[in-house]
Chain A
Amino acid sequence: MQIWNWSGFFSYLINPYILNGVLTTIWLTVVSLIGGLVLGFVVALMRRSNLRLVTVFAKFYIWLFRGTPLLVQLIVIYTALPQLGIRFSVIEAALLGLALNEAAYLAEIIRAGIDAVPDGQSRAGRALGMTERSIMRHIVMPQAFKVIIPPLGNSVNGLLKTTSVTSVISMEELLRRTQVLIQEKFMVLELFAVAAIYYLLLTTLWDFVQRRIEKKFGQSTQKLSLEDQR
């Protein structure tokens, strides 16, 4: 058996089965990001609530999902919950796990962004007769956004790679499909190289997009990218 098979490597680089896995990785990222953002925003608002019970719940949520590995969360959702009668398909379980996990990280990022806007800004909005909802939408969030974008971008980069964890519940994304082919063809090195190249491609493309967004909203990554997760 030869050590490195070039023709095998190139054929898997354009293999439709693998390419479909790449697409799955992309939409898993996009959908769980959207879910994570919506849920993360809600948790961030709960975290800042005046009602103690609500705050405690939000804190507990963040503590739980940031304090346990996504791997464990996925297995609980996919294999343990059915024993309680709550059943999810692989796709549902994968999306749910990713979104719930992502939300815990994003909630903290969003909260930090909101906290960075001085109280005086909300007070000025209130003094003009604006409702809390309007103040959040027109005054606080646009300013918080600038602070949120750099760590959010890094979080998306992480998420692109983290989707691979869903392979353990047999979600057919890039890594899972790579592993399936490895089991059939035994070209371990070639196939993992192909997978690595696609992850690199995705994260590099995202880097490029992120830089464009940051430029548009004017704040450097270095200043605020303290968030490094997983």
Chain B
Amino acid sequence: MIEINQVTKWYGDYQVLKKCSTRVEKGEVVVVCGPSGSGKSTLIKCVNALEPYQEGAILVDGIEVGNPKTDLPDLRTRVGMVFQNFELFPHLTIEQNIMLAQRDVLGRSSELARKKAKGLLDRVGLADQAPKYPSQLSGGQQQRVAIARALAMDPKAMLFDEPTSALDPEMISEVLDVMTGLARDGMTMMVVTHEMGFARRVANRVIFIDSGEIVEDCPTDEFFAGNRNPRTESFLSKILNH
């Protein structure tokens, strides 16, 4: 579904990604972890062309992302994205947040878009919040709305960039539960997170990135069983010890 091949990216003369390669099969959940500033966000932003890359190739559903001829808006509707800071539209109600791109991009009628929004809000456990504005919701609720908003486009894969790291601890599980449900339903997911419990329970594979390099890329069991690269080891001991 997602194939990343020898991707290299520079910010000016700073190399953020160094020949990164990996693939995410249909229905697979891959967790990406690594120290802050290692290039995790940059890597997944390259997947839906929010960031350009200079070398290598990324294929999403068979389409080359870096090809100048690629219809980017079309590509992006196939890949949903959830951000650390939710990025709900503050001037729109929850329902309108989920309806906007359905109508604008997919050209759905407003009845259809509303019906879809209602169904998805129900799925993330927020059916009664439709008429409210984002600022009236808790962080955990906002992030669940953001997930519903991305799902409304019927994406074939979902990207998550640290979806729980801006949340108060008591709200983390409500978001992870929604994501777990999605994974169980067969969604293809690439998730940047440091929630190792989630990785252990849900991920098929875990990738560890350090300084723009993919240092580790292995099945979840192996990743947690040991036999890891020393850099992975030192990172994990830091995040698991508190």
B141 on interface, CB distance cutoff 8 Å = no
Instruction: Evaluate contact between B77 and A128: CB separation under 8 angstroms.
Output: yes
B98 to chain A, nearest CB (A): 10
B224 to chain A, nearest CB (A): 31
Q: For the complex, give the distance between the alpha carbons of A120 and B50 in Å.
A: 11
Closest to B85 in A: A120
Instruction: Evaluate contact between A124 and B87: CB separation under 8 angstroms.
Output: yes
Contacts of B90 in A (CB 8 A): 143
Secondary structure of the B contact surface, majority rule: mixed
Q: How large is the interface on B (under 10, 10 to 19, 20 to 34, 35 or more residues)?
A: 20 to 34
Instruction: Evaluate contact between B50 and A126: CB separation under 8 angstroms.
Output: yes
B180 to chain A, nearest CB (A): 22
- Encode A125-152 as 1/0 by CB contact (under 8 A) with B: 1111111001000110011000000000
- Encode A113-128 as 1/0 by CB contact (under 8 A) with B: 0000000110111111
Instruction: Evaluate contact between A127 and B50: CB separation under 8 angstroms.
Output: yes
Instruction: Evaluate contact between A121 and B87: CB separation under 8 angstroms.
Output: yes
B108 to chain A, nearest CB (A): 13
Q: For the complex, give the distance between the alpha carbons of A22 and B59 in Å.
A: 65
Q: For the complex, give the distance between the alpha carbons of A180 and B237 in Å.
A: 87
A121-B50 in contact given A129-B74, A129-B77 (Cβ < 8 Å): no
Contacts of A129 in B (CB 8 A): 73-77, 101, 105, 153
Instruction: Evaluate contact between B89 and A139: CB separation under 8 angstroms.
Output: yes
B175 on interface, CB distance cutoff 8 Å = no
Instruction: Evaluate contact between B89 and A124: CB separation under 8 angstroms.
Output: yes
B94 on interface, CB distance cutoff 8 Å = no
Closest to A134 in B: B104
Q: How large is the interface on A (under 10, 10 to 19, 20 to 34, 35 or more residues)?
A: 10 to 19
B100 on interface, CB distance cutoff 8 Å = yes
Instruction: Evaluate contact between B48 and A127: CB separation under 8 angstroms.
Output: yes
Instruction: Evaluate contact between A131 and B85: CB separation under 8 angstroms.
Output: no
Contacts of B150 in A (CB 8 A): 127-128
Q: For the complex, give the distance between the alpha carbons of A74 and B105 in Å.
A: 46
- Encode A191-219 as 1/0 by CB contact (under 8 A) with B: 00000000000000000000000000000
- Encode B138-168 as 1/0 by CB contact (under 8 A) with A: 0000000000011001000000000000000
Q: Which of B75, B80, B91, B149 contacts A143 (CB 8 A)?
A: B91
Q: For the complex, give the distance between the alpha carbons of A123 and B48 in Å.
A: 11
Q: For the complex, give the distance between the alpha carbons of A127 and B82 in Å.
A: 9
B83 on interface, CB distance cutoff 8 Å = yes
Contacts of A130 in B (CB 8 A): 73, 100-101, 104-105
Contacts of B87 in A (CB 8 A): 120-121, 123-124
Contacts of B80 in A (CB 8 A): 127
Instruction: Evaluate contact between B83 and A128: CB separation under 8 angstroms.
Output: no
- Encode B114-156 as 1/0 by CB contact (under 8 A) with A: 0000000000000000000000000000000000011001000
- Encode B43-58 as 1/0 by CB contact (under 8 A) with A: 0000010100000000
B154 to chain A, nearest CB (A): 11
Instruction: Evaluate contact between A128 and B50: CB separation under 8 angstroms.
Output: no
Instruction: Evaluate contact between A128 and B76: CB separation under 8 angstroms.
Output: yes
Contacts of A126 in B (CB 8 A): 50, 76
Q: List 19 A-B contacts (CB under 8 A).
A: A120-B83, A120-B85, A120-B87, A121-B89, A124-B81, A126-B50, A127-B83, A128-B76, A128-B100, A128-B101, A128-B105, A128-B149, A129-B75, A129-B76, A129-B101, A134-B104, A134-B105, A143-B89, A143-B91
Q: Rank and list the top 6 A-B pairs by shortest CB-CB distance, nearest first.
A: A129-B77, A128-B101, A124-B87, A127-B81, A129-B76, A129-B73
